[in-house]
Structure formats: C-alpha cells, structure tokens
C-alpha cells in the first residue's frame, strides 16, 4: 500500500495536468480544439465570398 501510493498520485496528476502553459486543465484544451474548429468553419464558409 505504501509503495503504490506514489504511483497512484502520479497517475492522478497525469490525468489532471496537461503540462501546457496556458491551457492548464483538460476542459480548457477541449474548448480550445472546439474553438479552432469553429474558426475553420467560419473561414471556409466566407472563403468563396471573399474570392467571388
């Protein structure tokens, strides 16, 4: 039990921390990915109008 404690903590930290400077938790990372997707859809939707 004593030996397994550090491993459990390490796994827990691994699960919670992203190791990224600005996006510190996973929810922020997922929201960032969704925001990138929305940006791309907007760019793709207006592209034909810009170059019509």
Partner 1 sequence: MNTLDYAVLLIAILSIPAYGIWKTRGKRNLDTFLKGSGNSSWLVIGLSVMATQASAITFLSVPGQGFESGLGFIQNYFGAPFALIIIAAVFLPLFRKLNVYTAYEFLGKRFDSKTRLLGAGLFLLQRGLGAGITIYAPAIVLSTVFGWSLDGTIIASGIVVIIYTVAGGSDAVSLTQKYQMAVIFVGMIAAFAVLIWKLPPGFGFSSAMTIAGSMNKLDAVDFSPNMQSRYTFWSGTIGGLFLALSYFGTDQSQVQRYLSSGSLRESRLGLMFNGIFKIPMQFGILLLGAMMFVFYQFEQPPVYFNQAAWTERAAQGERDQFRTIESQFADVHARKRIALENWITAAHQGRAADASQAESSVRTLQKQSDELRQQAKLMVGGGIKGNKPASDADYVFISFILNYLPHGLIGLLVAAFFAATLSSKAAELNALASTTTIDLYRHLLSRDATDAHYVSASRWFTVLWGAIAIGFALFARLAENLIQALNIIGSIFYGPVLALFLVAFFLKWIRGTAIFWAAIAAQLLVIALYFSIDISYLWYNFIGPGACILFAIAIQASLPRGKEPPAPADA
List residues binding partner 1 (CB under 8 A). Answer: 11, 14-15, 17-20, 26, 29-30, 32-34, 36-37, 40-41, 44-45, 47-48, 50-52
The nearest distance, CB 9 to partner 1, in angstroms, is: 14
Going by C-beta distance under 8 Å and a sequence separation of 6 or more, which residues neighbour residue 43? none
Going by C-beta distance under 8 Å and a sequence separation of 6 or more, which residues neighbour residue 23? 29, 32
Nearer to partner 1, 9 or 11 (CB): 11
Nearer to partner 1, 3 or 48 (CB): 48
Going by C-beta distance under 8 Å and a sequence separation of 6 or more, which residues neighbour residue 16? 25, 26
């Amino acid at each position: 039990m004593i030996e397994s404690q550090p491993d459990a903590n390490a796994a827990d930290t691994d699960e919670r921390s992203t190791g990224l400077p600005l996006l510190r938790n996973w929810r922020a990372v997922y929201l960032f990915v969704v925001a990138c997707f929305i940006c791309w859809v907007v760019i793709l939707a207006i592209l034909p109008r810009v170059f019509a």
